[in-house]
């Protein structure tokens, strides 16, 4: 900042000298001062480490909360970051292009939530071979590519959703699962954790259907209606992300059965929170996206500095919330629109 002020003062001096008809040699000396300031400032900027972050998506408030946490860590640790992701979380080619563009800018670490790990494996293996630390976050980068993955423990989060769903059902009834992806690891884990908990500890709860609708509101609404029309005795539907849950909620509104079938969701949004506050949605699992973004950049900086993290997984946290606890000091900061 001081050098920027000096640069501005030097420029003002030039203008003043020129206006007063200063001698040529005085102007030249002043110009040399300006050049030195510019050169030193540029060198300082170039010395700031750059961390590239490529996300699964960008437009949803979840990713904006992750970005917020990443920017907080960047400011604290003295690095600069870029944070970008495709408009939709199915745009594999667009995400690959974003990764390639980020690499061209020479990052000292790469953090990524891959839509399709196979699509970026070759690119990232080359970066890893060149000594660039790789950090996965949220959906991550699989088990072998990154030095560490930063995410909610999605299998345990799915288990927690099942425990609360079982309590809502009185430990007996029919359940359907509406997932958002069959391929992205976090989504798969949310389904597996839920199903495994039900099979292991709740024998009187039957999972009658599992479907996937890409987390799209309209597709999820249609999938929900199809499941309930096929089996009207379903008591509860578990949805694995915000799009699936809000879509299912919309489907129930269209069928006119809100309140007749319980909904358990995942993540947060204004529509999801409003549904929980009104009692139309029983509850949901929330992640901690701000902590996820912060811990991702923090891990990247430590790896860049040669530190041993002592683990290949950092849990960014999750919790169950409903109308009773969503305004509590522990839960409210983890919810987002």
- 50-152+289-317 with 154-287: one CATH topology? yes
The encoded tokens of residue 327 equal 């305004």
114-143 confidence digits (pLDDT tens): 999 999 999 999 999 999 999 999 999 999
Domain map of the chain by residue range? Answer: 2-47, 50-152+289-317, 154-287
Instruction: Identify the pLDDT of residue 184.
Output: 86
In angstroms, the CA 141 to CA 149 distance is 7
Tell me the CATH number of domain 154-287, given options 3.40.50.170, 3.40.720.10, 3.40.50.720, 3.40.50.2300.
3.40.50.2300
135-163 confidence digits (pLDDT tens): 999 999 999 999 999 999 999 999 999 99
What mean pLDDT is predicted for residues 175-184? 94
In angstroms, the CA 38 to CA 36 distance is 5
**Contact (Cβ atoms closer than 8 angstroms) between residue 25 and residue 45:** no
Tell me the CATH number of domain 50-152+289-317, given options 2.60.40.10, 3.30.460.80, 3.90.1150.10, 3.40.50.2300.
3.40.50.2300
Instruction: Identify the pLDDT of residue 49.
Output: 97
- All residues at 6 or more sequence positions from 115 whose CB lies less than 8 Å from its CB, including other chains: 56, 86, 89, 90, 91, 92, 95, 139, 184
Whole-number average pLDDT of the chain: 90
209-257 confidence digits (pLDDT tens): 999 999 999 999 999 999 999 999 999 999 999 999 999 999 999 999 9
In angstroms, the CA 5 to CA 11 distance is 10
Instruction: Identify the pLDDT of residue 29.
Output: 54
250-290 confidence digits (pLDDT tens): 999 999 999 999 999 999 999 999 999 999 999 999 999 99
- Asked if pLDDT for residue 75 goes beyond 50, the answer is yes
Instruction: Identify the pLDDT of residue 61.
Output: 82
What mean pLDDT is predicted for residues 299-303? 98
In angstroms, the CA 266 to CA 245 distance is 7
Residue 260 per-residue DSSP state: T
What mean pLDDT is predicted for residues 25-44? 48
In angstroms, the CA 203 to CA 186 distance is 25
DSSP assignment string, 105-147 = T--SEEEE--S-HHHHHHHHHHHHHTT--EEEETT-STTTSSS
Higher pLDDT, 100 or 24: 100
Instruction: Identify the pLDDT of residue 45.
Output: 46
* Per-position b or e across 158-170, b if 16+ CB within 10 A of its CB: bbbbbbbbbebbe
Instruction: Identify the pLDDT of residue 41.
Output: 42
């Amino acid at each position: 900042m001081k050098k920027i002020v000096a640069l501005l003062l030097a420029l003002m001096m030039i203008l003043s000298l020129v206006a007063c008809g200063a001698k040529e040699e005085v102007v030249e000396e002043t110009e040399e001062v300006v050049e030195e300031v510019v050169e030193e400032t540029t060198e300082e900027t170039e010395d700031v480490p750059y961390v590239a972050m490529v996300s699964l998506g960008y437009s949803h408030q979840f990713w904006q909360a992750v970005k917020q946490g990443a920017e907080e860590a960047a400011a604290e640790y003295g690095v600069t970051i870029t944070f970008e992701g495709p408009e939709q979380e199915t745009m594999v080619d667009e995400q690959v292009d974003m990764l390639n563009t980020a690499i061209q800018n020479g990052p000292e670490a790469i953090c990524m939530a891959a839509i399709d790990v196979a699509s970026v494996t070759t690119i990232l293996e080359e970066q890893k071979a060149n000594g660039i630390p790789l950090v996965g976050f949220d959906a991550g980068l699989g088990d072998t590519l990154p030095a560490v993955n930063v995410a909610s423990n999605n299998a345990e989060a799915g288990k927690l959703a099942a425990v609360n769903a079982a309590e809502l059902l009185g430990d007996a009834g029919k359940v359907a699962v509406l997932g958002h992806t069959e391929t992205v690891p976090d989504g798969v884990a949310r389904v597996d954790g839920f199903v495994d908990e039900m099979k292991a500890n709740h024998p009187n709860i039957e999972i009658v259907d599992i479907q996937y609708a890409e987390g799209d509101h309209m597709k999820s609404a249609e999938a929900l209606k199809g499941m309930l029309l096929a089996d009207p005795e379903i008591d509860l539907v578990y949805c694995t992300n915000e799009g699936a849950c809000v879509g299912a909620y919309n489907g129930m509104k269209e069928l006119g059965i809100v309140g007749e079938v319980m909904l358990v969701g995942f993540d947060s949004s204004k529509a999801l929170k409003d549904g929980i506050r009104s009692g139309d949605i029983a509850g949901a699992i929330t992640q901690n996206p701000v902590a996820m973004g912060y811990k991702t950049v923090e891990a990247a900086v430590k790896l860049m500095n040669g530190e041993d993290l002592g683990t290949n997984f950092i849990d960014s946290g999750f919790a169950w919330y409903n109308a009773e606890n969503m305004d509590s000091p522990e839960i409210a900061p983890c919810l987002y629109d």
